[in-house]
Amino acid sequence: ETSSRKSRESSKGGGSSAGDQRWKGNYSQTNNALETKADAWQNAELHKLNKRYENMKASIHEWEKEKKVRAKVKMERKKKELEKKIKRSHQVYQLKISRIDDIAGGARAQVDEKRRNEELKIKEKAKQIRATG
């Protein structure tokens, strides 16, 4: 019984026959064609994906560049404003210094004048004392 079963299975397709070889050859050609199509599809999809991400990277780079330029312009503007403020502050300082110098000079002149006047008074009094004894 077992030997008859084996002989039936081998005749049904258990063994290799010419028809099987033809089917395998046809399948391998179809498989190669499918693999080629799959490879082409994969390459096309990867190309599209890479292109999309490169565009995204480019837009991010542009955004970054624009923001940096704006920040630099803003910084330069503030720097100029600070320089103007420093210049104005320096001018105000110079004016205050010149006013102080004028006031101090006038005060010195008054003190010198007052001293001379008092010296003259003292000399005149001494002259009177000498004269009157």
pLDDT at 9: 46
d(CA 133, CA 119): 20
**Residue 14 per-residue DSSP state:** I
pLDDT band of 31, cuts 50, 70, 90: confident
pLDDT tens readout for residues 43-98 = 999 999 999 999 999 999 999 999 999 999 999 999 999 999 999 999 999 999 99
pTM of the model: 0.48
Alpha-carbon torsion (31, 32, 37, 41), positive or negative:
positive
